[in-house]
Amino acid sequence: RTKKVTLCDEDDIMVMINGKLPDSSGYIYVEGDSADAEIMNYSSIAVVKLAKGQYNGSQMKTKGAVVVPTDRVYKLNFDSTGWYTLSVRTLYQDIFVVRIYVKSK
């Protein structure tokens, strides 16, 4: 058995997709046509955007659609397989970019 342990400070802001952290490069793989994203250790305003393709934080300022949370969970819907970029911009202008590869079930 192997177990992955990620150490972070108690006030580090983390973006989790389906309850999992992306790898150290900001990539994660999911199956299906939707996923849930959560911002952990952050309770203020954040702008979350999703775009098809791979982009950096600067490019995501003008790309993608804003995702509105329901009970602090951001429901991500994918229209096809391939790469998507999730961008999170906090009130303090911290920018997190997660690249999601969507596989069909």
pLDDT of residue 94 exceeding 90: no
Backbone angles phi, psi at 58, to 5 degrees: -65, -40
Average pLDDT on 81-89 reads 96
pLDDT single digits (tens) 28-39: 999 999 999 999
Average the pLDDT over each of 2-16, 41-55, 67-81, 86-100 and give the range with the smallest value. 2-16
Percent of the chain with pLDDT strictly greater than 70: 90
pLDDT of residue 24 exceeding 70: yes
Estimate to the nearest angstrom the gap between the alpha carbon of 65 and the chain centroid.
Answer: 13
* pTM for this entry: 0.86
Residues linked to residue 16 through DSSP beta bridges, in sequence order? 38
